Chain A
Amino acid sequence: MAVISSTQGSRGRLAVFVLAAVTALVLDQRNVGVINRSREVASSAFGPLDDAAEVVGAPVTDAWNGWTGADSLDELEAQNRKLKDELAAARAEKVRNTDAVHQLEELTKSLELPWLGDIPKVTAQVISGPQSNFSHAVEINKGSKDGVAEGMPAVTSGGLVGRVSQVSKHRSTIELITDPAFRVGTRLATSGALGTSRGQGSNEPLVVDTSLTPDAKVPAGTALVTSGVDRSIFPSGIPVGRVKTSRSGVGGMSLDLLVDPLVDVDDLTYMTILIWKPPA
């Protein structure tokens, strides 16, 4: 009988916990301020402990990476990263040139579109990778005291990385473009066709829902940039990726594109935050 009464009591407690957790989920979905503020405070308070643990655990991490084959010979890594960065910059330049030609041809009012080069920027170092298996976010060492705010775009020389999802005084969390919850308005650099890009997780291409008809032809390698359309949270013209292949959309009424991101989000060391807010 003692066992039964114990489990009955625990059922009641479980029900309370489930109710509390579901309430928290609902409040989070509605962007209630107290949750965001609590996360900011927790992140600020926990940051130094996290840093200390990473320093202490560095030998373990290095030994683990060596054992699992993820070698970390410093010199080779640095050279590889430099070469990747140069290659990404060259690819992004090619995408920007394609987009520039299209913009001229369309006779858009470019003076009203923010030119990426004039946007104030803050360069930040990536200090931490995803903290859970279901998170596609990294942490950087710049926060609100540096002018970073929630929603600002994050880029590298290669292109779009993601957006700022949480900010504390000295750190920020960047939601990556590969996150299944991430959305960005895009357009094809050649035709200007608009679409919405979403992530599918690590090492998976982005899926772009377009308004093109299913029989439209989009060659592999076609460049994709941010669209910057009305009230978009990203400025226009940031390189996003290149088309890998296409497939019929849900219901067979439109065309979906599978796009390889230009930036390797699994190999980020530095990134740039654009101090930019959408025009009112």
Chain B
Amino acid sequence: MRPDSWMMLRRGALLILAVLILQTGIISNLESFGAFGDVVLLVAIAAGSVGGPDRGATYGFAAGLAYDLLLDTPFGMSALVYALVGYAVGMAAVWMLQPRWWFHLVTAAVGGVAAVLMTALVSKATGTGYPLDELARIAGVVAAWNVALILPARRVMQWALAEDRDTRYRVAVG
């Protein structure tokens, strides 16, 4: 593996560990309307936004799987949902080529809502249903947190991906 790949791997692992500590130790205690933010999901969204669909799916899967180890929900559920959302956000970012700042806020919000709905679907498939009003509340809070944190999260992800500008720009312009 190339030296810069090792550096990205180390930074990625450190980032996921830090985010897990932040989520379980602090964010999960900051409740509003009976729900709290999901910065682990935000890692997947930021990775897709900065690095394209490949990075989004990879970070989503890795962060989601690590998160699943600490939860009592079905193992693999977060990995599946976050990989899909990270990929989708990455595809949206590639399409836009040079998105404006507000585009990142929109994809963060939509990504949050989509993740909550997908999680509910996977839960239903594994035998656990959730009331619709509870889902709406969770989706709203998660989306609000994502919108508030996506811009600084993108900065952190640019550091983790060891890029001085978005990877997808390089891919787009060749």
**Per-residue contact bits, chain A 168-201, to B (CB 8 Å; 1 contact, 0 not):** 0000010100011100000000000000000011
Nearest 9 Cβ contacts at the A-B interface: A53-B25, A24-B76, A21-B80, A57-B26, A10-B54, A42-B69, A28-B75, A25-B76, A10-B53
Interface centre among A17, A24, A38, A130 (most CB of B within 10 A): A17
A22 at the interface (CB under 8 A from B): yes
Contact partner of B25 among A13, A17, A20, A57, CB < 8 A?
A: A57
The chain A residue sitting closest to B61, CB to CB, is: A17
Minimum Cβ distance to chain A for residue B127 (Å): 7
A50 at the interface (CB under 8 A from B): yes
Interface residue total, chain B, C-beta cutoff 8 A? 64
Q: Is the CB of B171 within 8 A of A2?
A: yes
Contact partner of A133 among B22, B58, B79, B142, CB < 8 A?
A: B142
The chain B residue sitting closest to A19, CB to CB, is: B80
Collect the chain A residues with CB atoms within 8 Å of residue B84's CB.
Answer: 14, 18
**With A and B bound together, what is the CA distance between A42 and B73 in angstroms?**
15
B99 at the interface (CB under 8 A from A): no
A-B contact count (CB 8 A): 170
A254 at the interface (CB under 8 A from B): no
**Per-residue contact bits, chain B 65-79, to A (CB 8 Å; 1 contact, 0 not):** 101111111111111
A117 at the interface (CB under 8 A from B): no
Collect the chain A residues with CB atoms within 8 Å of residue B130's CB.
Answer: 134, 180, 201
Q: Is the CB of B73 within 8 A of A134?
A: yes
Q: Is the CB of A181 within 8 A of B70?
A: no
A60 at the interface (CB under 8 A from B): yes
Contact partner of A128 among B24, B68, B123, CB < 8 A?
A: B24
Q: Is the CB of B123 within 8 A of A134?
A: yes
Q: Is the CB of B30 within 8 A of A7?
A: no
A104 at the interface (CB under 8 A from B): no
**With A and B bound together, what is the CA distance between A133 and B130 in angstroms?**
11
Minimum Cβ distance to chain B for residue A1 (Å): 8
Contact partner of A6 among B34, B54, B69, CB < 8 A?
A: B54
Collect the chain B residues with CB atoms within 8 Å of residue A20's CB.
Answer: 61, 76, 79
Task: Name A's B-contacting residues (CB within 8 A).
Answer: 2-3, 6-7, 9-11, 13-14, 17-18, 20-25, 27-29, 35, 38-39, 42-43, 46, 49-54, 56-57, 60-61, 64, 68, 70, 128-135, 137, 165-166, 173, 175, 179-181, 200-204
Minimum Cβ distance to chain B for residue A65 (Å): 8
Collect the chain A residues with CB atoms within 8 Å of residue B20's CB.
Answer: 46
Minimum Cβ distance to chain B for residue A138 (Å): 10
The chain A residue sitting closest to B29, CB to CB, is: A61
**With A and B bound together, what is the CA distance between A56 and B24 in angstroms?**
12
Known: A14-B87, A24-B75, A60-B30. A131 touches B119 (CB 8 A): no
**With A and B bound together, what is the CA distance between A10 and B61 in angstroms?**
13
Minimum Cβ distance to chain B for residue A259 (Å): 16
In the complex, chain B residues 29-88 whose Cβ is within 8 Å of any chain A Cβ: 29-32, 34-36, 38, 52-54, 57-58, 60-61, 64-65, 67-80, 83-84, 87
Contact partner of B75 among A13, A14, A35, A165, CB < 8 A?
A: A35
Q: Is the CB of B38 within 8 A of A133?
A: yes
